[in-house]
């Protein structure tokens, strides 16, 4: 259950931090500034602290990629130097100087990489000349490839629709962020930390920066940062990139992402999963919750398939949205600046990737019955040491969290219904305007809030949460009872609606009869 070996091209050194040996792993291509940040983080110092690295003999060691490797017995020591306060203007110019230095360092690295590439190209050209392939043939091949690529792009553009999705190279939000994210680090109170672990947490009182800090806290609190040897700054960058790649839909937005992840964090504590699952399995649950609706366009799979959108065509009508969420998640992780799993083995990353894909695909409601039935079959003899049992439970857990709003108090849950209906009505209006089949439960002319919720709570939410309750009986009070109360609440609203409709109908009938009598008289 360890963090895994360092990847190729990385260097490992050991630090003596107050008598405790700390292992530090970094890339040989890391800049001095990045290495210094990592050393400060490992020693528990602020990133802007001035430090000196000393070996066993007290000799100063350079804090760059040339740091000699050492062993635990010859661990380096970090000495923090106090810095006298400088005027604000001097700090400003010092920051500019640091950025300029960093840019020069990058430029030199780019120059070195260009030199290596040119050498390899020269070697390949010499080999092609030996094999008799002339330069004119190469140019011809390049032109043919360019023409073919242009033709493919033209064909792709014909498949586009008003609901346009883009490939990774077109998504500007996914551009790497080399700067340290600027969202402030909030110190969470003990009351907030306690509230985060409960379904009653009010997700409407928090700004995006505060939600990012809460998510960051969850990863540290569960021990995931330590387990996967995550760079804390990379975790910040990743979370910020995740937030930027949720669209501003009425419902499927970053606040929904936070809502689902907070519920997952709460269920981990409520069900005491830390003692039943490995940290790797908990990391998969949390990361899947964070990524589960990335770049959601606000129009569901039914619309994608009926409208023959680029997504539906790309994924052959099979869970197009969920496949897209997975793809965007791993496009983000493919960037070194955002790869929170950079310091684990390729084998472990492959395992984590497969698990995250499995869980995100499980959020497609078209698979609800299939997944719930699989869980009910293993429930009587559920065994946490059985890998297949745990996989099935993980799928049910992320489904529970994804649609868990009605578990929350009414004042927290009801605004989400309004947001969902707004998104539904946007889709049904679009379906009508484009001549597509209108999804019945989204039609603004037919659906009301009670109608939308009663059937969903009675036939989807309650049966699923009651199944989970058989494995974790203590969730009945905090999760199942609120669902039953929500059902009763909407049934009362439905009775009021029907009574008002009946009164209105009688009133209309009376007016109609009165009009006829007046005409006949």
Please state, in angstroms and rounded to a whole number, the distance separating the CA atoms of residues 301 and 312.
8
Is the distance from CB of 348 to CB of 6 less than 8 angstroms? no
Catalytic residue (one of 29, 205, 220, 252): 252
Helix (H) or strand (E) holding 81: strand 76-81
Report the sign of the C-alpha dihedral through residues 198, 199, 203, 209, in that order.
positive
Dihedral class, residue 79 (left if φ above 0, else alpha if ψ from -120 to 50, else beta)? beta
Tell me how far apart the alpha carbons of residues 244 and 82 are, in angstroms, rounded to a whole number. Answer: 37
Helix, strand, coil shares, percent, the chain, to 5: 65, 5, 30
Q: For 169, which DSSP code?
A: G
Which residues, in sequence order, are CB contacts of 69 under 8 Å at separation 6+?
A: 11, 12, 13
| Number of alpha carbons in the 13 Å side-chain half-sphere of residue 213 | 15
Can you tell me the distance from the alpha carbon of 7 to that of 4, in angstroms, rounded to the nearest whole number?
9
Say if residues 360 and 322 touch (Cβ distance below 8 Å). yes
- What residue numbers does the annotated binding site for Zn(2+) cover? 256, 292-293, 402
Annotated binding-site ranges: 252-256, 292-293, 402, 453
Residue list, annotated binding site for AMP: 252-256, 293, 402, 453
CA distance 165 to 160: 8
Quickly count: other Cβ atoms within 10 Å of residue 458's Cβ: 15
Distance from the Cα of residue 122 to its chain's centroid: 43
- The angle, 0 to 180 degrees and rounded to 10, between the axes of the packed helices 279-291 and 254-270 is 160
Residue 225 · residue 260 · CB < 8 Å: no
Q: Identify any residues that bridge with 11 across adjacent strands, giving them in sequence order.
A: 26
Question: DSSP string spanning 310-340?
Answer: HHHHHTTTSSHHHHHHHHHHHHHHTSGGG-T
SS3 400: helix
- The H or E element that residue 22 is part of is strand 20-27
Radius of gyration, CA atoms only, the chain: 29
Question: With b meaning 16 or more CB within 10 Å and e meaning fewer, what string describes 3-14?
Answer: bbebeeeebebb
Query: Does residue 389 have an active-site annotation?
Result: no
So which residues are the catalytic ones?
A: 252
């Amino acid at each position: 259950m360890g963090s895994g070996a360092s990847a190729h091209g990385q260097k490992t050194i050991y630090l003596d931090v107050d008598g405790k040996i700390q292992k530090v792993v970094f890339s040989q291509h890391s800049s001095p500034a990045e290495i210094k940040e990592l050393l400060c983080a490992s020693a528990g110092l602020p990133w802007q602290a001035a430090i000196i690295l000393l070996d066993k003999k007290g000799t100063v060691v350079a804090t760059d990629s040339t740091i000699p490797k050492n062993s635990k017995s010859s661990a380096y020591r970090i000495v923090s130097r106090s810095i006298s306060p400088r005027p604000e203007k001097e700090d400003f110019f010092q920051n500019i100087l640091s950025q300029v230095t960093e840019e020069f360092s990058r430029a030199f690295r780019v120059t070195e990489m260009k030199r290596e590439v040119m050498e390899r190209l020269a070697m390949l050209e010499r080999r092609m000349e030996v094999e008799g392939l002339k330069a004119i043939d190469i140019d011809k091949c390049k032109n043919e490839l360019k023409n073919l690529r242009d033709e493919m792009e033209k064909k792709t553009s014909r498949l586009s629709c008003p609901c346009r999705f883009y490939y990774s190279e077109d998504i500007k939000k996914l551009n790497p962020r080399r700067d340290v994210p600027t969202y402030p680090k909030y110190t969470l109170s003990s009351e907030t930390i306690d509230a985060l672990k409960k379904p009653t947490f009010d997700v409407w009182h928090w700004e995006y920066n505060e939600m990012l800090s809460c998510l960051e806290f969850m990863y540290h609190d569960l021990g995931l940062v330590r387990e996967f040897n995550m760079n804390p700054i990379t975790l910040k960058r990743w979370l910020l990139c995740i937030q930027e790649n949720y669209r501003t839909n009425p419902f499927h937005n970053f606040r929904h992402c936070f809502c689902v992840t907070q519920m997952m964090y709460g269920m981990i504590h409520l069900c005491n999963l830390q003692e039943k699952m490995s940290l790797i399995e908990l990391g998969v649950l949390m990361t899947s919750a964070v990524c589960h609706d990335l770049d959601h366009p606000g129009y569901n799979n039914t619309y994608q398939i009926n409208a023959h959108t680029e997504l539906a065509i790309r994924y052959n009508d099979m869970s197009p949205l969920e496949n897209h969420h997975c793809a965007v998640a791993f496009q983000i992780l493919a960037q070194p600046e955002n790869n929170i799993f950079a310091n684990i083995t390729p084998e472990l990353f492959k395992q984590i990737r497969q698990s995250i894909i499995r869980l995100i695909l499980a959020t497609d409601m078209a698979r609800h019955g299939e997944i719930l039935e699989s869980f009910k079959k293993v429930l009587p003899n559920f065994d946490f040491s059985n890998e297949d049992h745990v996989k099935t439970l993980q799928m049910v857990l992320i489904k529970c969290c994804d649609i868990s709003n009605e578990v929350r108090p009414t004042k927290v849950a009801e605004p989400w219904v309004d947001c969902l209906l707004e998104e539904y009505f946007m889709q049904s209006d679009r379906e009508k305007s484009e001549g597509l089949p209108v999804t019945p439960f989204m039609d603004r002319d037919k659906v009301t809030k009670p109608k939308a919720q009663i059937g969903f709570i009675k036939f989807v939410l309650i049966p699923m949460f009651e199944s989970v309750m058989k494995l974790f009986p203590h969730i009945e009070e905090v999760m199942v009872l609120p669902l039953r109360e929500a059902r009763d609440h909407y049934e009362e609203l439905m009775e009021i609606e029907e009574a008002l409709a009946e009164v209105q109908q009688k009133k209309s009938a009376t007016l109609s009869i009165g009009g006829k009598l007046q005409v006949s008289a």
